[in-house]
Amino acid sequence: MMDLLTRREEIILLSVWKLKDGAYGMSIKDHVSQVTGKKWLFGSIYTPLEKLLEKGYLISEKGEPTPERGGRAKVFFILTGEGLDALKNLQKIYEFLWDDIPALEVR
């Protein structure tokens, strides 16, 4: 049985998947902030990223040092097969839960 993800883990895992090769701390933070309309701090990104790494849903890989970062390398996050399976599982759960629910109307 696969672990269910927290909402934050889910949002971050989906962002890593959407960002593909460009998924590193700042790009993930910017993406989730844009998508949710809320300001996300780095702490709110890195704690779930660590959990996702521990679960085996992501791996991290250091990039090349860049001059704009003072010679420091970016750490990129890559979705694993297990991470993709977790997203597929969540998608199935949501499809089942939302099936046959009438359209929600604003009051």
List of domains in the chain: 7-98 (1.10.10.10)
Contact 23, 75 (CB under 8 A): no
Q: How many CA atoms lie within 13 A of 101 on its CB side?
A: 9
The pLDDT confidence band at residue 55, using thresholds 50, 70 and 90, is very high
Model's pTM, two decimal places? 0.85
Cα separation, 12 vs 60, in Å, equals 14
The pLDDT confidence band at residue 2, using thresholds 50, 70 and 90, is low
Contact 53, 9 (CB under 8 A): no
Cα separation, 102 vs 26, in Å, equals 38
**How confident is the model at residue 90, as a pLDDT?**
92
Mean residue pLDDT of the chain comes to: 91
> Minimum mean pLDDT among 33-42, 54-63, 68-77, 92-101: which range?
68-77
The pLDDT confidence band at residue 64, using thresholds 50, 70 and 90, is confident
Please compute the mean of the pLDDT values over residues 87-106 and round it to a whole number. 88
Interval 30-53: pLDDT, tens: 999 999 999 999 989 999 999 999
Angle at 57 between CA 54 and CA 63, to 5 degrees: 85
**How confident is the model at residue 47, as a pLDDT?**
95
